[in-house]
Amino acid sequence: MAKRIFLFLLTNIAVVTTISIILSLIGVRPGDGLGPLAIFCLIWGMGGALISLQISRWMAKRAMGVQLVDGNTGNADADWLYRTVERLARQANLPMPEVGIYNSPEVNAFATGPSKKRSLVAVSTGILRAMRRNELEAVLGHEISHIANGDMVTMTLLQGVMNAFVMFAARVIASVAASQSKSDRGSDGIYFVVRIVVEIVLGIAGSLVTAWFSRYREFRADAGGAALAGSENMVAALQRLAEGPQGVDPRAPALASFKISGAQGFLALFSTHPPLEVRIATLRQRRSN
């Protein structure tokens, strides 16, 4: 756990340092007017998201302890996993992604990576034990569909735009509020407090938007998994997940949008995945049409 925390902190320090150097080199400062402020926020918002995307495959392997397999391990499950991903990728006209397994009791699989040519499909040991092969094939088809649909890139761009908008709007609103103060000391305090409050409020609103889009792409990936591995198998996989509570490994919160299970009730608004029963009903409706 200490190693994972160190990697997370080191990555964030590297991202902040890189963006700060870029801003310094091009001479952009947030207090030079709306134009420079917009550029400043765009570089910070998009820059952090894009750097995170570029190192997402590397981070996933380090944070989750993913062990890559090549189809020649001699382990029946690992070799079947590799051959199945290879076949599904070929069906989807995709380059072969890296394939890996990580040791965790959670029933989960995810896909990540900066591009279709540099992607990773990983599964937990928990899902290998819990699912039949036809069900797991459908889950792998779902993950391959994420890659084919470019979901990692789209989510990154959306998150970057949201980050930039929140930073820009918070600073503009805080500047307007601070301008009403009659003293410099008072204006500084007002600016700081208003900026923080607005960033929190807009950040929450932005997370609702990104969560909604993430749920939308899950339905598309379900349809893709059904097309690649069969609708009955995709429904069976989701039913298997719905049979009992699925523990979620907290080691890589940055991969939350690629966890299988979704929240219920009010928290569903912030969930990156729709409820399993809704996904099952949607697949059944598509199959009957």
CA 273/CA 256 separation, integer angstroms: 9
C-alpha dihedral (23, 26, 31, 32), degrees to nearest 10: -170
Write out the catalytic residue numbers: 143
Instruction: State how far the alpha carbon of 204 is from the alpha carbons of 60, 105, 263, in Å.
Output: 25, 31, 17
CA 286/CA 231 separation, integer angstroms: 9
Give, as one character, the DSSP assignment of residue 252: -
154 - beta bridge partners? none
Closest CA to 18 of 49, 56, 39, 60: 49
Rounded to 5 degrees, φ, ψ at 256 are -55, -35
- Helices 151-178 and 184-229 cross at an angle (nearest 10°) of 160
